Amino acid sequence: MIRELVKKSDIVIENFTPGTLKKRGLDYANLAEVKSDVIMLSMSPMGQHGPLSSLVTYAPVISALSGIDSMVGYPGENPIGFKHPFADVVASMSGLFSVLAAIRHHIRTGEGQYIDLSQGEAVMPFMGEAFLANEMNNHVMGPQGNMSSTMAPHGVYPCVGDDKWISIAVKTEEEWSSFCGVLKDPEWTKEVKFSTSENRIANALELDKRIAAYTNNHDNYELAKQFQEAGVAAAPMLDNSEILEDPNMKERNVFINGEHPVVDETLSYNWPWKIDGIDCRMERAPLFGEHSEYVFGEILGFSSDEIKNLVEKEIIY
């Protein structure tokens, strides 16, 4: 049944443990015999070959293996790691671009292609600075918190209210001068250890404490507005409820309501891009078995009784 579906498909995507499909005669070599120009994307944790190819993982394990977890946390403390399935998101985007490249190749040559995508390797480019630090200076970066090697201040700072914060980043001396102006030029900003960008970066921890003592007495929205008006990069840190009610998000239709056959109405993300003359709307995900009649009936030509029999045997939904 899978082979028959492949005959009428352009692209096959799978993320089984390497070797699983080969045991069932459904690897690329076998499927290419069924459809010579098929494009197949295999998304495994660490690639189809190598010592870690048989690894069984979830996204947090991939983040650990890629090294990026080692940098998530506070300086001098144990790594915290990513809670978000970062590797899943990054690997999916990498997979999309690799398939688009294969489609372009198919259009030009008529040939199919096999794509071996390592999800861990897809995450590693985000470690670029850390790799350079090790290669050039034999330095292991470790957890960085919000600190930057090129900016200070650079982080989130507490404000008035329960768990209210403001994000601030200052790069140039002009921005630093404007930043100090918003703070009414307190004496500590004139100290030598904060007099240049290099000095501020070297004394970032103390600088953060000084700034936090100021921001802790101010509203994050109002303070962010003052910084923005002065030309300083700053914004309130929004939680999920604030994002949903944010005027900018509403004006740009970042979230849209839609109908759903199970939960009636849903709130979902819209596309982050706007294209002139095109109504870009995010559609809901299909339900299990929602398109079985179309796939097995219209595409493969199965009768209603045959489809019903497959559903009853729990072969399909």
Domain ranges of the chain: 2-129, 154-237, 249-312
Nearest to 74, CA basis, from 244, 204, 171 = 204
Q: Which residue has the tokens 């559609």?
A: 283
Spatial distance between the Cα atoms of 288 and 310, rounded to a whole number of angstroms: 14
| Residues 6 or more apart in contact with residue 78 via CB below 8 angstroms | 143
Close Cβ partners of 146 (under 8 Å, ≥ 6 residues apart): 154, 155, 156
Closest to 210 (Cα-Cα) out of 146, 158, 257: 158
pLDDT tens digits for range 252-303: 989 988 888 888 888 888 888 889 998 887 788 899 999 999 999 999 999 9
Residue 315, CA distances (Å) to 2, 30, 65, 184, 312 in order: 12, 22, 35, 70, 8
Within 8 A by CB and 6+ apart from 95, the residues are 13, 41, 43, 115, 117
CA distance 85 to 82: 7
| Rounded percentage of the chain residues whose pLDDT exceeds 90 | 75
Residue type, 8: K
CATH assignment of 2-129, among 3.40.50.10540, 3.40.50.11540, 3.90.170.10, 3.40.640.10: 3.40.50.10540
Which range of 61-65, 69-73, 136-140, 170-174 scores highest in mean pLDDT? It is 170-174
pLDDT tens, 189-247? 999 999 999 999 999 999 999 999 999 999 999 999 999 999 999 999 999 999 999 99
Predicted confidence (pLDDT) per residue in 84-104, tens digit: 888 899 999 999 999 999 999
Domain 154-237: give its CATH architecture.
2-Layer Sandwich (3.30)
Q: pLDDT digits over 128-163, tens only?
A: 888 989 999 999 988 988 989 899 999 999 999 999
pTM for this predicted structure: 0.84
